[in-house]
Structure 1
Amino acid sequence: MNFPEELKYTQDHEWIRLEADGTAVVGITDFAQHELGDIVFLDITTVGQAIAKGDVFGTVEAVKTVSDLFMPIEGEVLELNPEVERSPELVNEDPYGRGWIVRVKLTGDAGEDGLLSAEAYKELVGQ
């Protein structure tokens, strides 16, 4: 399983990459996509909305289940990745690359309180 060191992680299995321009990219981890199985649909209806840290910003539907997606940091959802909207299987194939889910404009403290390092996330999932 892959745990890129440059990303931060949540206990709910999302990852976040903070960008220099005050935005962030959010997706689900390799562990999460593996546990969910084949992803068939993403339901993100929060584009243009401000979402508090820890609140649900959408759902991911897999063959075996539907799971909520939680915002790892306070921000406004700027866009849903158009590639995963058309081809949700990209989340399975490339969760840290082409399979990112949303881009967010940070609206609150960009602090990393509660976010995990790759090492801490590995420990959380028993890797």
Structure 2
Amino acid sequence: MDFPEELKYSKEHVWVRIEGERAVIGITDYAQTELGNITSVELPEPGDELEQDDSFGSVEARKTVAELYAPLSGTVLEVNSELGNAPEFVNDDPYDAGWLVVIEVADSEESNLLMSAEHYEDYVAVAED
């Protein structure tokens, strides 16, 4: 399982790549493995406001639907429109082609509540026990 060091992670298995005032958001390798083959992704629209820890969409796999929870508050700038035709990108490449949204971060201090790769790896190890 992959835990890129440059990312931050939420307890809801969402990763964040901070890029200045923007953040790219997706689900973790662990999450996509647990869900199985992803068949569709429901995402917000550009311009939508996200509040930290509130639902902003969902990921559907063959046997389940998982809510997506915002790791940070902000305004949606972009959504990965490729996922409409190819939701499997989330399974195949969760940290690159499978990204979900880009937001303009409202409060950079919120990122201090997220986990480092090392802490997230420990977190999922406990979840698997």
* Superposition TM-score tier, normalisation by shorter sequence: over 0.9
Corresponding residue of 2:63: 64
CA positional deviation for 1:86: 1.8
Contact 2:44 2:79 in 1 (8 A): no
Residues matched between the structures, number: 125
Alpha-carbon distance in 2 for matches of 1:47, 1:12: 22
In 2, distance between residues paired with 1:114 and 1:45? Answer: 23
Is the contact made by 2:44 and 2:76 (CA closer than 8 Å) also made in structure 1?
Answer: no
1:18 aligns with 2:18: yes
Partner of 2:77: 78
CA distance in 2, matches of 1:49, 1:80: 11
Distance in 1 (CA, whole Å) between partners of 2:121 and 2:85 is 30
Any gaps of 5 or more consecutive residues in structure 1?
none
RMSD of Structure 2 on Structure 1 (CA): 1.2
Distance 2:116 2:100 in 1: 20
| Deviation digits for residues 60-87 of structure 1 (CA, Å, limit 9, x no counterpart) | 0001100000110110112211222220
Q: Structure 2 CA distance, aligned partners of 1:75 and 1:46?
A: 13
Structure 2 counterpart of 1:11, which letter? K
TM-score when normalising by structure 1: 0.94
Identical aligned pairs, as a percentage?
A: 47
Q: What is residue 40 of structure 2 aligned with on the other side?
A: 41
Asked whether the equivalents of residues 44 and 56 of structure 2 are also in contact (C-alpha less than 8 Å), the reply is yes
Q: Is the helix fraction higher in 1 or 2?
A: 2
Q: Match for residue 7 of structure 1?
A: 7
Instruction: Name segments (4+ residues, structure 1) moved above 6 Å.
Output: none
Q: Does the Cα contact within 8 Å between 1:7 and 1:16 map onto a contact in 2?
A: yes
In 1: Cα distance, 2:115 partner to 2:54 partner: 18
Secondary structure of the equivalent of 2:125? Answer: coil
